[in-house]
């Protein structure tokens, strides 16, 4: 009997304001099962601004591939076709401030890169993908699959760059990003 290599979903990483008011409506929640919470406040990220998450541990053994899915609520109508970018900042070190590329801190905070040189600093991170936004008024939560990546290290942080033409909503109730491990399993 031949073996098959099938895909299975691992435990999700939920990047949201778990320390604040994150509590999405059922129709907007991307969480499945009991995800690992990772602190990332997405509230009020202005157009042309970025935010970084707390550093997360992917585990001593980790999935080969991760998929990024986002749910974003905007404070005003974004410009059709504009983008929200997602980056991964891989790190070999568990300590928040150590071993981070592109000037990342390893903590939930605004991201400006080295010496406020964000454009060049982002190039030192792994570009995961984008959410192309549509013209939707505020209170509409836009949900999209945004890309896949392979992390070369056990630890890392997510960086979100808003280039949508509008700020993210001022609360963190709905906005969150899920990183889902895609695990190859021989059966």
What is the rounded distance in angstroms from the CA atom of residue 70 to the CA atom of residue 53?
Answer: 14
How many other CB atoms sit within 10 Å of the CB of residue 140? Answer: 16
Long-range contact pairs involving 28-36 (C-beta distance under 8 Å, separation at least 24): 28/71, 28/141, 28/143, 28/174, 29/71, 29/176, 30/69, 30/70, 30/71, 30/143, 30/176, 30/178, 31/176, 31/178, 35/11, 35/178, 36/11, 36/12
| pLDDT higher than threshold 70 for residue 54 | yes
Per-residue pLDDT of 118-162, as tens digits, reads: 999 999 999 999 999 999 878 899 999 999 999 999 999 999 999
Q: What is the CATH number of domain 5-186?
A: 2.60.120
* Token duo for residue 18: 């778990």
> Residue 124 carries which DSSP code?
T
Q: What is the pLDDT of residue 1?
A: 67
Query: Chain-centre distance of CA 124, in angstroms?
Result: 17
186: part of which helix (H) or strand (E)? Answer: strand 176-186
The values of phi and psi at residue 121, to 5°, are -65, -35
What's the predicted TM-score (pTM) here?
Answer: 0.96
- Spell out the domain ranges in the chain: 5-186
Per-residue pLDDT of 90-123, as tens digits, reads: 999 999 999 999 999 999 999 999 988 999 999 9
């Amino acid at each position: 009997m031949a073996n098959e290599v099938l895909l299975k979903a691992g435990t999700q990483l939920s990047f949201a304001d778990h320390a604040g008011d994150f509590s999405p409506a059922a129709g907007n929640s991307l969480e499945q099962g009991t995800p690992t919470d990772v602190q990332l406040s997405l509230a009020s990220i202005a157009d042309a601004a970025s935010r970084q998450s707390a550093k997360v541990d992917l585990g001593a053994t980790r999935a080969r591939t991760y998929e990024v899915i986002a749910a974003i609520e905007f404070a005003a109508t974004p410009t059709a076709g504009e983008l929200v970018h997602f980056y991964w900042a891989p790190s070999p070190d568990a300590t928040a401030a150590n071993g981070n590329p592109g000037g990342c801190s390893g903590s939930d905070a605004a991201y400006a890169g080295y010496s406020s040189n964000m454009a060049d600093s982002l190039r030192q991170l792994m570009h995961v993908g984008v959410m192309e936004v549509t013209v939707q008024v505020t209170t509409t939560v836009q949900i999209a699959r945004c890309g896949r990546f392979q992390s070369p290290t056990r630890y890392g942080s997510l960086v979100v760059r808003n280039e949508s033409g509008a700020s993210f909503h001022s609360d963190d109730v709905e906005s969150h990003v899920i990183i889902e491990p895609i695990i190859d399993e021989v059966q």
